[in-house]
């Protein structure tokens, strides 16, 4: 059975094959960095962590890009409230995010671009849209996108222009020709801090001082890192409209090519039947939850639900997840499972694979793990125990020692689930590089930066690669490139 994925664009489960055989290019809309991440954010990043893990387990190479939005109205307001620069705030929040999602075993993407690093590409795309008659300068100085001039608008969300015009979209904003239009470049206001403004003239454009709109950021970053058309574009269900719809309008309006072949959206986390969100005040940060529950319990709680389904958050559900995961670890505790390569012809492995190949069916895949654990309990087979651990690893589960999980107590802290260090952006200032070379990272932070530099070089982002090298060198870490890869040593 071949891999099949639900495509929001077609509203159907379709056979998946990458544009380039053996190589998958995937872009996921990441975090807007102004506060700590909550469990709703974790659910989104976990969904695509499992997705990219299964693509790799299926023998595919994956170029996974997950961006960071580090400039927008909320970020500006929070920085002003705290009396710090925008960069200081976003650097701090990026470090916090990496710590929190790293604790959950969420692997780093291949590249993690920051929006502020791609403003020239955003302006270039706006210029192309203007030349094609799809962008115009509003009376207030903003550059706006003319929605009605793009024929395919609404194809992702299924919304017609008439429906949108009837009031489902936002109200008319000053300077727009049509209430459906959205901003590409926001003209700077005198009241805004200087570090929230870019001089477009210095970058070869005549749009005045300002900053990019949210939607253009992802269009520019995905194109710069993955090309004009790639395999998978993902994000939370709340991004389907208007964010992803607007990305399609911008990108396809600029280059005339499909942006992504598959559009994948994860479901919400709900509390008392309401979507978990900061605006509603009904959210729990990852850190708050990890004070009460083992990190792998939280991961299991999220992964055992299908990524497209709603996930109901409660202590009772987490307690049940803990009890369920305990059953799997108890089976492993009875034997000493060896490291095994998965034989996909094995009946258990074949059913696990069939479940995952059908739109990443984790509930069915986890049911196979419980059946396998039952056989381990009956037979004490080390071979089956090794298979149980290996299959669990495809989901980022069952990789710690059984005793470490079974003996965990609330308040005792949470160890990372995998050996993967969080992604750290070298251009993020001293704090991020210092975070990478703390003694307790066991050199993994440095290796993560080297991997990020390698990813930047692959997409010809040599400026970013040089920044990583120079930032490490400033802290006495020398990189040595060779045909076999990159090694490092401390400067003598």
Distance, in Å, from the CA atom of 238 to the CA atom of 244, rounded to the nearest integer, reads: 9
For 430-483, write each residue's pLDDT tens digit. 444 555 554 434 455 677 788 778 877 766 667 677 778 877 876 778 888 877
Number of domains in the chain: 3
- Residue 139 DSSP label: T
Residue 169's pLDDT band (cuts 50, 70, 90): very low
Of 271, 302, 336, which residue constitutes the final position of a domain? Answer: 271
380 part of a folded domain: yes
| Mean pLDDT value of segment 182-209 | 95
For 380-417, write each residue's pLDDT tens digit. 999 999 999 999 999 999 999 998 898 887 765 565 45
66 with 211, same domain? yes
460 part of a folded domain: yes
Distance, in Å, from the CA atom of 300 to the CA atom of 49, rounded to the nearest integer, reads: 13
CATH label of the domain that carries residue 266: 3.40.50.620
Most confident stretch, 170-174, 208-212, 400-404, 450-454: 208-212
462 part of a folded domain: yes
8 part of a folded domain: no
140 with 265, same domain? yes
Name residue 409's beta-bridge partners. none
325 with 465, same domain? no
Pick 378 or 470 by higher pLDDT: 378
pLDDT of 450 reads 85
For 244-299, write each residue's pLDDT tens digit. 999 999 999 999 999 999 999 999 998 877 777 766 677 889 999 999 999 999 99
The whole domain housing 375 covers: 315-406
107 with 222, same domain? yes
pLDDT above 60: residue 83:
yes
157 with 196, same domain? yes
470 with 356, same domain? no
- SS3 string, 44-68, reads HHHHHHHHHHHHHHCCCEEEEEEEE
458 with 364, same domain? no
pLDDT above 50: residue 429:
no
143 with 76, same domain? yes
396 with 473, same domain? no
Lowest mean pLDDT among 205-209, 334-338, 388-392: 334-338
66 with 173, same domain? yes
Which residue do the tokens 């070379």 mark?
437
Of 371, 406, 441, which residue constitutes the final position of a domain? Answer: 406
pLDDT above 50: residue 171:
no
| CB 157 within 8 Å of CB 140 | no
| Mean pLDDT value of segment 201-212 | 95
57 part of a folded domain: yes
CATH label of the domain that carries residue 332: 1.20.120.640
212 part of a folded domain: yes
476 part of a folded domain: yes
50 part of a folded domain: yes
Name residue 283's beta-bridge partners. none
Average pLDDT, the chain: 89
pLDDT above 70: residue 111:
yes
Q: What is the pTM for the complete model shown?
A: 0.83
Name residue 145's beta-bridge partners. 135, 182
Backbone dihedral angles phi then psi of residue 264, each to the nearest 5 degrees: -120, 130
DSSP 3-state assignment of 312?
A: strand
pLDDT of 427 reads 42
Residue 140, C-beta contacts closer than 8 angstroms, at least 6 positions apart: 174, 175, 187
401 with 439, same domain? no
pLDDT above 70: residue 168:
no
337 with 463, same domain? no
């Amino acid at each position: 059975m071949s891999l099949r994925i639900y495509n929001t664009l077609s509203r159907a489960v379709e056979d998946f094959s990458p544009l380039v055989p053996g190589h998958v290019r995937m872009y996921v809309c990441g975090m807007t960095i102004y506060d700590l991440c909550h469990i709703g954010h974790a659910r989104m990043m976990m969904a695509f962590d499992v997705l990219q893990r299964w693509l790799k387990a299926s023998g595919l190479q994956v170029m996974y890009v997950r961006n960071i939005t580090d400039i927008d109205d909320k970020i500006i307001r929070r920085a002003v409230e705290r009396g710090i620069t925008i960069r200081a705030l976003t650097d701090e929040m990026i470090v916090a995010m990496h710590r929190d999602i790293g604790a959950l075993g969420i692997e780093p993407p291949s590249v993690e671009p920051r929006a502020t690093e791609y403003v020239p590409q955003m302006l270039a795309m706006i210029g192309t849209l203007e030349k094609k008659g799809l962008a115009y300068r509003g009376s207030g100085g903003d550059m706006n996108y003319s929605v009605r001039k793009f024929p395919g608008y609404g194809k992702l969300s299924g919304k017609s222009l008439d429906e949108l015009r009837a009031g489902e979209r936002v109200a008319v904003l000053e300077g727009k020709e049509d209430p459906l239009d959205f901003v590409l470049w926001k003209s700077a206001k005198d009241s805004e801090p200087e570090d929230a403004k870019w001089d477009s003239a210095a970058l070869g454009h005549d749009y005045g001082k300002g900053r990019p709109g949210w939607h253009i950021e992802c269009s520019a970053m995905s194109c710069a890192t993955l090309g004009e058309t790639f395999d998978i574009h993902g994000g939370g269900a709340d991004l389907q409209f208007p964010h992803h719809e607007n990305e399609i309008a911008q990108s396809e309006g600029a280059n005339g090519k499909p942006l992504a072949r598959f559009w994948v959206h994860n479901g919400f986390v709900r509390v008392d039947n309401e979507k978990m969100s900061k605006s509603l005040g009904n959210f729990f940060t990852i850190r708050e939850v990890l004070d009460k529950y083992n990190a792998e319990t939280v991961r299991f709680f999220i992964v055992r639900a299908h990524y497209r389904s709603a996930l109901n958050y409660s202590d009772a559900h987490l307690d049940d997840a803990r009890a369920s995961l305990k059953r799997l670890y108890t089976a492993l505790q009875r034997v000493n499972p060896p490291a095994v390569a998965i034989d996909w012809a094995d009946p258990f492995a074949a059913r696990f694979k069939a479940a995952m190949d059908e739109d990443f069916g984790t509930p069915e895949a986890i049911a196979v793990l419980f059946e396998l654990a039952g056989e381990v309990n009956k037979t004490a087979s080390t071979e089956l125990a090794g298979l149980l651990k290996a299959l669990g690893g495809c989901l980022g589960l069952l990789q710690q020692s059984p005793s470490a999980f079974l003996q965990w107590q609330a308040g005792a802290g949470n160890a990372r689930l995998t050996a993967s260090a969080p992604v750290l952006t070298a251009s993020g200032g001293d704090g991020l590089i210092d975070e990478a070379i703390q003694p307790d990272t066991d050199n993994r932070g440095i290796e993560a930066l080297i991997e990020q530099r390698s990813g930047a070089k692959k997409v010809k982002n040599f400026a970013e690669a040089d920044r990583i090298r120079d930032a490490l060198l400033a802290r006495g870490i020398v990189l040595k490139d060779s045909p076999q890869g990159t090694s490092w040593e401390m400067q003598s």
